[in-house]
Structure 1
Amino acid sequence: MILAVKKYISRLPEKIWFRAMLFSVAAIAAAAAAEWIGPLMPYEADLEIASGSVGEILTILASSMLAVIAFSVSIMVSAYGSATSTATPRTITLMLADDRSQNALSTFLGTFLFSIVGIIGLSAGYYDDRGRIVLFFATIVVIVLIAATLINWIQQLSTFGRMNDLIDRVELAASKALRWHGQHPYLNGQPPIEIPSEAVPICCDIASGLVTSIDMGLLDETAEKHGVTVYLTIHPGKLVYPARALLYLSGEGADRVDAQAFRDAILVEHDRSFDQDPRFGLVVLSEIASRALSPAVNDPGTAISVLDSGLRCFEAFAEASAEPEEAKYSRVHGPEIEVGDLFTDFFIKIARDGAGMVEVQQRVQLCLLALAQSWPEIFFTAASEASRNALARALDVIVHKPDREDLKVRSQRVVDSCET
């Protein structure tokens, strides 16, 4: 429960309603505070024309912002639908968390409420002369803010929801998760070891779901409290069900501990998330490529762009793995992320769906060669296996002899670089 609350709070800034609520509260407070700030002015301002026109300005802002909000929402909904049909529905969570679109919508809504509150205050005689002057200057600041937001929003609309934008978003999320796992192998715990035969399994006690977060600090603290050692058998992204062990406990009294205290450190939800799951970003990238390679779309160029993005993701993982941080938790043996699984999630799926497209197969072999030559100690086994697998799939479909020979040469380069 504690982990679920922490996760919910951490996701609040990604919610559209949360940022809109903050902007709206600030706007209402600014409009209401004009009357309180007015008496603090050290002199009598002679701006009767400005103070008299503030009502008209606020009326224009209120009417225009209502139209802009409706237009912006329709554009965003259209972009979400386009992303679902052209890429994959899994990209929607990243689009919903977009800072620029949230700031634009929140600013428009905040301006609308600021204008409404100001108009109501003027109509009710809430403001004196000084208060109207303060409200006028606050309105000028809001207009400047709206102008800057509109310029940024127009620029955003030129790319928002386009294929390159979606690929970039997924690449950023995947790189972030992979970089974190490279810097913190085994989830910042101890390396996995053989689980003792007397270890006690702690199984999932709810319906099946997907692990989205593991609180290693809470696991270590609970293990220290009970004097046991924890052996994690799952990592974020894994499917769990009541019969599957989440972890094992060893040590004196391991069979008498409060199992729920350990379960509370593992959050199980219905959908995967990008936060701690390094494989999910690669899966979503491969889904975009698979959609592009389908006969209905037939867009190998997008698949090649996805392969380039995936290559950069693996590079981020390798660079972070070169300088890992020291393990922080001594009583928890974390799970190991298999490089072979990462390659299966990404390269093998694209090689399968693009088996008959020689340009896609060439780029697969080129990316594998780049990884094998740059970081052989990390990727040599997985790269050679993925290269052979991709070649076998291509040879089953491609009949043109020069293309077949070219792919064989490229695959052999990958294998040779791995063996050397």
Structure 2
Amino acid sequence: MSADRLVFLLNRFRERLWIKPLIVCLLSIAAVFAAKIADTSGFANLAPIVTAGSIESLLKVMASSMLVIATFAVGSMVSAYATASGTATPRAFRLVVADDVSQNALSTFIGAFIFSLVALTAVMNDFFARAGRFSIFVLTLLVFGVVIFTFVRWVDRIARLGRLETAIEKVESATANAMRQRQRAPRLCGVACDEGSGDGQPIYSDDVGYVQHVDMAALQACAQSVGARLVLVADPGTFVAPGQALVHIRPSRKGNAAIDAGAVRKAFMIGAERYFDNDPRFGLIVLSEIAGRALSPGINDPGTAIGIIGAVVRLLVLWSQAPGPEQGDSADQPSYDRIEVPVLSVHDMFDDAFTSIGRDGAPMVDVSLRLQKSLASLAMLPDPVMRQAAARHARMALARCESAMSLPLDLERVRHAAAFAQAPAAN
């Protein structure tokens, strides 16, 4: 298994609520038995005397309260998750679940409960001597302090976790991270496509779903074993089905043995859902969905849509700072010289980000003006492809406004804001 796939799988484990609580529970049990070591050390005769009754009282208080707090925490988190999914979009649910503060809080509460039960059982059965009891007493006070600090910090986070602004912030952050990751390897550490060599022989998918991860090291090994080159057709985020190509094989002039199509297919992790990892377009789609929901007649929240437009502009400006295709990947030499990978299309990214906002916000002058001004700011960037995409979407948004707006004065304001898209493009 390659390092990239291992990181991808670890990120999926991070989204599971039970992983951290399980680890903390095991550490809690280990801490109780580790306290027994003090009885066999030189500290045994120097430790202060702590009665078993005082420790039992503390542990009983902790055991009874931690179970209640853990149950309350789970209920509050589930409520926040449901609110975030309902106000934003279900696609943001995984990001909210992966919130570190909430997971750490739940882990702390459950871990403290397990610690108190195991320690209480050990103390009541005289498992510890003088030094061991003192060690358990110190550990109990330490756990109390950690629980209080975690609870205070968690209350502030849970109050914000279900808010729409928090979901938008998390989606924007995840998209920015995916963009930075793709900036470091625009072609996934492969090489540029040779446009003059034709498509080659395709290898088709056997599954239906989205490409979640591509094991480039496995593809490189498959291509190298037969001396061929592979053209990646389905990069992360692509929807595939049987009969749709994953890669195209370009054999060398010397002729090649047949490539292992099964091994090539195994290099593609395909599932029913998309993930933010290595898929910047998915983040733009999720932001667009949130804006579309805000602009629906039942919600009618243009302010959220305007905020989403600002987030999208920040992300596209970040993307415009990526190295151009002619500069290759971040490394001096591509790691996978037999894999040809196309770069992400800026036009597709603009379609993902602005199409639904331009459609649903067309009747609203405030949203339409903000959209045109944002596209005008993107058109001022030095990237010529981004300028073309911004002008194209400005014209599309204006056309929708012309068919949706009823007040001529509002339409005239939007036309004035979109004037940059009608002017000849500057070189």
What TM bracket, shorter-length normalisation?
A: over 0.9
* Aligned 8 A contact 1:219 1:262 in 2: yes
* Aligned 8 A contact 1:209 1:241 in 2: yes
Secondary structure of 1:187's partner? coil
Question: What is the Cα deviation at residue 171 of structure 1?
Answer: 0.2
Please tell me the residue identity of whatever aligns with 1:281. G
Partners of 1:235 and 1:114 in 2: how far apart? 46
Match of 1:104 in 2: 105
Is 1:282 aligned to 2:287, yes or no? no
Question: What is the Cα deviation at residue 261 of structure 1?
Answer: 1.6
* Aligned 8 A contact 2:39 2:132 in 1: yes
Choose the corresponding residue for 1:393, options 388, 397, 400. Answer: 400
Is 1:38 aligned to 2:39, yes or no? yes
Question: What is the Cα deviation at residue 217 of structure 1?
Answer: 2.3
Matching of residues 9-158 of structure 1 within 5 Å = 9-42=10-43, 44-45=45-46, 47-49=48-50, 52-158=53-159
Match of 2:219 in 1: 219
Partners of 1:357 and 1:124 in 2: how far apart? 72
Relative to 1, partners in 2 of residues 1:365 and 1:316: Cα closer, same or farther, differing over 3 Å? same
Relative to 1, partners in 2 of residues 1:249 and 1:33: Cα closer, same or farther, differing over 3 Å? same
Partners of 1:27 and 1:185 in 2: how far apart? 44
* Aligned 8 A contact 1:369 1:417 in 2: no
Secondary structure of 1:321's partner? coil
Question: What is the Cα deviation at residue 67 of structure 1?
Answer: 0.8
Matching of residues 264-279 of structure 1 within 5 Å = 264-279=266-281
* Aligned 8 A contact 1:279 1:342 in 2: yes
Question: What is the Cα deviation at residue 41 of structure 1?
Answer: 4.2
Relative to 1, partners in 2 of residues 1:289 and 1:254: Cα closer, same or farther, differing over 3 Å? farther
Question: What is the Cα deviation at residue 4 of structure 1?
Answer: 6.9
Question: What is the Cα deviation at residue 344 of structure 1?
Answer: 0.8
Partners of 2:366 and 2:137 in 1: how far apart? 62
Matching of residues 196-207 of structure 1 within 5 Å = 196-197=197-198, 199-206=200-207
Please tell me the residue identity of whatever aligns with 1:216. M
Please tell me the residue identity of whatever aligns with 2:340. H
* Aligned 8 A contact 1:107 1:146 in 2: yes
User: Is 218-227 or 314-323 further displaced after alignment?
Assistant: 314-323
Choose the corresponding residue for 1:310, options 304, 308, 312. Answer: 312
Choose the corresponding residue for 2:294, options 292, 295, 298. Answer: 292
Partners of 1:376 and 1:30 in 2: how far apart? 57
- State the Cα deviation string for residues 347-386 of structure 1 (Å, max 9, x = none): 1111111110111111111111111112333401111111
Question: What is the Cα deviation at residue 328 of structure 1?
Answer: 3.0
Matching of residues 366-381 of structure 1 within 5 Å = 366-381=373-388
TM-score, normalised with respect to structure 1: 0.94
Match of 1:238 in 2: 238
Match of 1:358 in 2: 365
Partners of 2:391 and 2:294 in 1: how far apart? 26
Question: What is the Cα deviation at residue 198 of structure 1?
Answer: 7.6
Secondary structure of 1:335's partner? coil
Relative to 1, partners in 2 of residues 1:371 and 1:41: Cα closer, same or farther, differing over 3 Å? farther
Partners of 1:418 and 1:396 in 2: how far apart? 26
Gapped runs of 5+ residues in structure 2?
none
Is 1:335 aligned to 2:336, yes or no? no
Is 1:411 aligned to 2:418, yes or no? yes
Question: What is the Cα deviation at residue 151 of structure 1?
Answer: 1.8
- State the Cα deviation string for residues 174-200 of structure 1 (Å, max 9, x = none): 111122223322222112233745822
Relative to 1, partners in 2 of residues 1:200 and 1:123: Cα closer, same or farther, differing over 3 Å? same
Secondary structure of 1:213's partner? strand
* Aligned 8 A contact 1:191 1:333 in 2: yes
Relative to 1, partners in 2 of residues 1:358 and 1:270: Cα closer, same or farther, differing over 3 Å? same
Relative to 1, partners in 2 of residues 1:243 and 1:195: Cα closer, same or farther, differing over 3 Å? farther
Secondary structure of 1:237's partner? coil
Partners of 1:195 and 1:124 in 2: how far apart? 79
* Aligned 8 A contact 1:182 1:318 in 2: no
Please tell me the residue identity of whatever aligns with 2:418. S
Partners of 2:408 and 2:381 in 1: how far apart? 30
* Aligned 8 A contact 1:45 1:133 in 2: no
Secondary structure of 1:113's partner? helix
Match of 1:169 in 2: 170
Root-mean-square deviation (Å): 2.0
Percent pairwise identity = 35
User: Is 214-223 or 380-389 further displaced after alignment?
Assistant: 214-223
Say how many residue pairs are matched.
Answer: 419
Gapped runs of 5+ residues in structure 1?
none
User: Is 325-334 or 300-309 further displaced after alignment?
Assistant: 325-334
- State the Cα deviation string for residues 121-174 of structure 1 (Å, max 9, x = none): 012221112211110011111112112211210121221120110000000111
Structure 1 runs (4+) deviating above 3 angstroms are: 1-7, 45-52, 195-198, 252-255, 321-324, 414-420
Partners of 1:50 and 1:298 in 2: how far apart? 64
TM-score, normalised with respect to structure 2: 0.93
Relative to 1, partners in 2 of residues 1:86 and 1:185: Cα closer, same or farther, differing over 3 Å? same
Question: What is the Cα deviation at residue 417 of structure 1?
Answer: 7.8
